[in-house]
Amino acid sequence: MKMIIAMFFVVLGSVAALADTPAKPNIVLLFADDAGYGDFGFHGSHHFKTPHLDKLAKSGIRLSQFYVTGATCGPSRAGMLSGRYQQRFGYEEINVPGIMSPHSKLLDDEMGLPTDIKMMGNYLQDLGYRTAVFGKWHMGVADRYHPLRRGFDEFYGFRGGARSFFAYPDPSRTAHENWMERGFENYQEHEGYLTNVLADETCEFIQRNKDNPFFAYVSFNAVHTPMEADPQDKDTFPHLQGDRRIAAQMMLSMDRACGQIMDKIEKLGLRENTMVVFSNDNGGPMDKNGSSNYPLAGVKATQLEGGIRVPGIISWPGALKADAVYDAPTITLDLIPTFVAAGGGDPAALEGLDGVNLLPYLRGEKSGRPHQTLHWKMETRGAIRHGDWKLLRYPDRPAELFDLAKDPAEQNDLAAVHPELVRELFKKHFAWELELQRPLFMLRRAEEGWSARRATEFRKPPTKDY
């Protein structure tokens, strides 16, 4: 009898423990396009207004040194969605479809994230998640690269890298990869302003899947060119001019869309068990869309901090503290291991990934830095961050060395002061490069020159009043 009673209490305890185990959290990844580092209220902007994202930042943890793996849209997304440095599988140098081959449809179709690489959606599908992409895909336009064949159950957006925010009157006059598509090859242009439409579609997906774990990758094309604002915002930001004013209006509409998605999660009672991440694909281009990367130097397509350091917010009320800042370097490579861990999987069992599970660090369960060393590479240009030291390698000038702890704006080159450290970092970066594949797509010479020019012209950070 005593044994039966003891077994009863063991079973009862197991049931209680099971009841205390939280359900798999829903995961929402809100992702901006070409936004300026300094153009968010939670980063101190006095010109742009982002009240909903500011609220999201207050509800969770702001990652103050959050990086992307590439300084342009496609490579950056390839690294995030694969969890690997994109150079490991040759996706290094350019966006797809090919800017180098405007007359070669055949070559364009060959360009994309290799199909043997597992992607973020695949990992979450394995854990029982319903997965969806809304907006910009940019991982290849051929059918074999389509989101529905790369780990996502639903897709509403466009396969390419940029398009109008308004419906095309005659889609046949523009490239097919920029047509709006629902599912697979169901093409139909949207009604209204695209940023709003993406929010509506995301909310409908959340409503349909409220009783099951879901993952929504909301890939806004704001504030990427073309510079087109929502007509309802035409009278806002009268103190700004030109593209800077339009960018502020586009950011306002994207912030409002994020707020709409967050409101939907709240109304369905899902907020406590929904992890929401916000970030951006690369630094703002500044001269293209009026963005500002203050207080960082550099722009999109450069490996200065302004090209690769991006906003980062992770909010999960049921599991992470609110109104906090995490200061150690982190990177979009970390999202897949973190999502897998949150969903009940074992990130340590995932092979080939370059990121780490951030949850123990964010909860204070693990000390130290998630990464001691991070790398960036685009053809002969390269960068390495080791601790707080960062080395920039150029093809046409001496390397530069910066102490980011004291000089995050990269204004004081210390290469001549620490030649031994320059050699050490060169060796570490070379060793990493030996692990990589050859690039699958070669960069146009003109594009390389354009990037080098930008690295020079935008060396000094913009002023705060820009």
pLDDT of residue 96: 64
Percent helix, strand and coil across the chain, each to the nearest 5: 35, 15, 50
pLDDT in tens, 388-411: 999 999 999 999 999 999 999 999
Mean pLDDT, range 288-295, rounded to an integer = 95
Supply the CATH classification number for the domain 374-457: 3.30.1120.10
Are 309 and 377 a contacting pair, CB within 8 Å?
Answer: no
Give the whole-number percent of the chain exceeding pLDDT 70: 88
pLDDT in tens, 311-346: 999 999 989 999 999 999 999 999 999 999 999 999
Structure tokens at 288: 């293209």
pLDDT of residue 448: 46
Tell me the pLDDT of the chain averaged across its residues.
Answer: 91
Supply the CATH classification number for the domain 25-371: 3.40.720.10
C-alpha–C-alpha distance, residues 20 and 317, integer Å: 16
pLDDT of residue 21: 39
pLDDT of residue 224: 97
pLDDT in tens, 139-190: 999 999 999 999 999 999 999 999 999 999 998 888 889 999 999 999 999 9
Q: What is the DSSP string of 148-160?
A: GGTT-SEEEEESS
- Sheet order of strands, 130-136 included: 186-187, 181-182, 154-158, 130-136, 214-219, 26-32, 274-280, 313-315, 61-63, 324-326
pTM of the full predicted structure? Answer: 0.92
Structure tokens at 237: 């930001």
Instruction: Give the pLDDT band (50/70/90) at residue 105.
Output: low
Structure tokens at 197: 């439409």
C-alpha–C-alpha distance, residues 307 and 204, integer Å: 34
Whether the predicted pLDDT of 364 surpasses 70: yes
CA 348 distance to own-chain centroid: 22
- Report the relative pairing of strands 214-219 and 274-280 from DSSP bridges: unpaired
Helix (H, G, I), strand (E, B) or coil at 204: helix
Give the DSSP letter of residue 329: -
pLDDT in tens, 421-464: 999 999 999 999 999 999 887 654 444 454 555 666 778 887 77
pLDDT of residue 63: 98
pLDDT of residue 456: 67
Q: Kindly list the domain boundaries of the chain, sorted by start residue.
A: 25-371, 374-457
pLDDT of residue 108: 65
